[in-house]
Amino acid sequence: MEAERAKVADLQANHLALSRELAVAKTQELTQRRELVSASDEIEGLKKRHAREVMDLEMDVKKRDREIREVNEDLRVCRGDLERERETVSSLKSTISHQSNAHLTLTTQNQALQAQMEAYIRSVADLTGKLEVAEKEVEEMKKEAMESERVRRKLHNMVQELKGNIRVFCRVRPVLSSDFSSSVEGADAEANMAFPDQRDHKEIVLSSSSESATGQERKEVYNFGFDRVFEPQATQAEVFEEISQLAQSCTDGYNVCIFAYGQTGSGKSFTMEGGPTEETAGMIPRAVEQVFRVAEEMKSKGWEYTMEGQFLEIYNETINDLLGKHDFDKKKHEIKHDAKTGSTRVTDINVLPLHSASQVRTLLNLAQGRRSVAATMMNERSSRSHSVFTLRISGVNVGLGGTGCGEGTGERCEGSLNLVDLAGSERLNVSFANGADKERVKETQSINKSLSALGDVIAALGEKGPEATGKHIPYRNSKLTYLLQNSLSGNSKTLMFLNLSPLAAHLNESLTSLRFATKVNNTTIGTAKKQSRTS
Ligand SMILES: Nc1ncnc2c1ncn2[C@@H]1O[C@H](COP(=O)(O)OP(=O)(O)OP(=O)(O)O)[C@@H](O)[C@H]1O
């Protein structure tokens, strides 16, 4: 029992110890429970904080995500931009590389140009110096040119004077197809004409053979010499070349008269007026053109010209104004000479200012249409009146204002150019073999009277020193000679064309014309005087 009791005491001591331990354990447990509650509160608090923090973090993450997306988007845009910028940069790089190449080239060119420019500047300076010298020389030369022009005019006119103031040119027209249509047998046969002087062209020889009373063949040879003989093939230009110097004379202040003499159909109108083409244009249009050309050229020598023209015909000893308003001129015209100036005027005649050669051509055509033209038995187109075209020229030397050559000399000159197409010179019996109408007979008589008056005037002038001896010159015997007085006397230069037909049938007429022209050619008219004055 004691064992048991000891056992129970042991058990009780154990129990006590265990109860104590349990109490301690319970206290510990309580403490721990409290700690646990506090820890779980703490955990709860932590959990809540954690949840809040997680939420905050989630929101933060979402925000960041958004931001990341935005940044990514920006990045993408930036990448695009960057890519484009890269491309731009690369193209700029290549441009820069080109540009720098170009710049290099330009720099080289610039250097070369600068070198050239410097050379130019040097040569410009050099040229400026030379120009100044040349300008001085030009000025001197202009002065010299004006002076030599004055000398030239003097010499030119001296040459003209030495050649004689009445000159005669003989021109034979070619045989025409119309010559073959004549009803008279043998009318188309060519006359025997020769031109032996092939160097100076001054001779014409006509020969004819006839049967003498004893039945023997008689050969006759006629020699004539003129200032110039033109063969049938001579062109209008060749003929004009010989007379063009005369046009210059009238711009120098001389009275120039060119007239055509010859039987009907011998080529007077062709020589003076010519055909419609440039090649066939006659002496009148060519001379007018020459005068205008010379006047234009003389501008550079300080001369200024004004021109005026008149055109008339003398038909049956009456003057008809070819520039009048009506086809038939009913006015009575008188011829007036001014002894002081040596000029001739016709009263009530239209005198038109002339500005160009083409204006003159139009006038001439108009006037030609008005000419009294009547058919004769010899030439359908024969004109039965004398036509006189007059171009008056006044010049004044006004200098070359503004060129440094100073004032003009103030010298004035007045000249005229008379171009006369005479009516046919055939004798009465040739034209009117079967005695035709009276009007035509009167016309022919009147023409022949004036032509023989022309011959008489020339013959009287040809007698030695007519003007010095005061011998009477019968200018008044016909309207033609009276009108041409100043063109035939000592104040002028005269050229006569003797037109000849090449036909054998016209041989006698040709011989008569040749004799008349020889008389004219042997006439020496005093010295031509230039009509000039210094204002
Ligand atoms: N050199 C020439 N070349 C070519 N044809 C010419 C030449 N000369 C004159 N003729 C021609 O001869 C014909 C007569 O000439 P033109 O009419 O000129 O004679 P004319 O002497 O003036 O006559 P008229 O006294 O009747 O006026 C015209 O058909 C003309 O064309």
Closest CA to 157 of 241, 286, 254, 259: 254
pLDDT bracket for residue 433 (50, 70, 90): very low
Mean of pLDDT values over 102-122: 91
Centre of ligand 1 to C-alpha 271, Å, is 7
The secondary structure of residue 505, as a DSSP letter, is G
- 334-379 pLDDT, tens per residue? 999 888 877 788 999 999 999 998 888 888 877 777 664 433 434 4
Distance CA 453, CA 457 (A): 6
Distance CA 187, CA 157 (A): 45
Distance CA 36, CA 44 (A): 11
Ligand 1 environment, Cβ below 6 A: 173-174, 176, 262, 264-270, 379, 381-383, 423-424, 499
Centre of ligand 1 to C-alpha 168, Å, is 19
Distance CA 182, CA 163 (A): 41
pLDDT at 376: 43
ipTM: 0.98
Domain assignment of residue 51, yes or no: no
Do 142 and 405 form a contact (C-beta atoms < 8 A)?
Answer: yes
Determine if residue 201 is left, alpha or beta; phi over 0 gives left, psi from -120 to 50 gives alpha, anything else beta: left
Q: Which residues of 248-284 are buried (b: 16+ CB within 10 A; e: fewer)?
A: bbbbbbbbbbbbbbbbbbbbbbbbbbbeeeeeebbbb
Return the ligand 1 atom nearest residue 381 CA. Answer: 26
The residue contributing the CA closest to ligand 1 atom 9 is: 267
Domain assignment of residue 53, yes or no: no
Mean of pLDDT values over 313-317: 87
Distance CA 288, CA 309 (A): 10
Centre of ligand 1 to C-alpha 176, Å, is 9
Return the ligand 1 atom nearest residue 272 CA. Answer: 18
CATH code for the domain in which residue 467 is found = 3.40.850.10
The residue contributing the CA closest to ligand 1 atom 8 is: 267
Residue located via tokens 């086809």: 327
Return the ligand 1 atom nearest residue 273 CA. Answer: 18
Distance CA 409, CA 147 (A): 11
- 128-163 pLDDT, tens per residue? 999 999 988 888 887 777 777 667 666 666 655 555
The secondary structure of residue 399, as a DSSP letter, is B
Centre of ligand 1 to C-alpha 475, Å, is 29
How many domains does the chain divide into?
1
Centre of ligand 1 to C-alpha 276, Å, is 13
Asked whether residue 451 carries a pLDDT value surpassing 70, the answer given is: yes
Single-letter amino acid code for the residue at 110: N
Distance CA 143, CA 516 (A): 48
Centre of ligand 1 to C-alpha 523, Å, is 27
Return the ligand 1 atom nearest residue 270 CA. Answer: 18
Centre of ligand 1 to C-alpha 449, Å, is 23
The residue contributing the CA closest to ligand 1 atom 11 is: 267
Among 249-253, 287-291, 506-510, the range scoring the smallest mean pLDDT is 249-253
Residues 6 or more apart whose CB falls under 8 angstroms from that of 327 comprise 370
- 175-208 pLDDT, tens per residue? 988 887 655 555 568 889 999 989 889 999 999 8
Among 236-250, 447-461, 463-477, the range scoring the smallest mean pLDDT is 463-477
Domain assignment of residue 391, yes or no: yes
Select from 230, 269, 279, 372 the residue to mutate for testing ligand 1; criterion: most ligand atoms less than 8 Å from CB.
Answer: 269
| Residues annotated in a binding site for ATP | 262-269
Return the ligand 1 atom nearest residue 424 CA. Answer: 25
Select from 172, 173, 230 the residue to mutate for testing ligand 1; criterion: most ligand atoms less than 8 Å from CB.
Answer: 173
Centre of ligand 1 to C-alpha 213, Å, is 37
Q: List the domain range (segments joined by +) for residue 214.
A: 164-534
Domain assignment of residue 488, yes or no: yes
pLDDT at 206: 93
Query: What is each CA distance from 514 to 78, 238, 267, 387, 519, in whole angstroms?
Result: 116, 22, 15, 22, 9
Return the ligand 1 atom nearest residue 262 CA. Answer: 21
Domain assignment of residue 139, yes or no: no
Domain assignment of residue 154, yes or no: no
Distance CA 314, CA 443 (A): 11
| Residues annotated in a binding site | 262-269
pLDDT bracket for residue 381 (50, 70, 90): very low
- 10-41 pLDDT, tens per residue? 888 888 888 888 888 888 888 888 888 888 88
Whole-model pTM? 0.66
Mean of pLDDT values over 42-54: 85
pLDDT at 231: 96
Mean of pLDDT values over 469-474: 74
Distance CA 356, CA 362 (A): 10
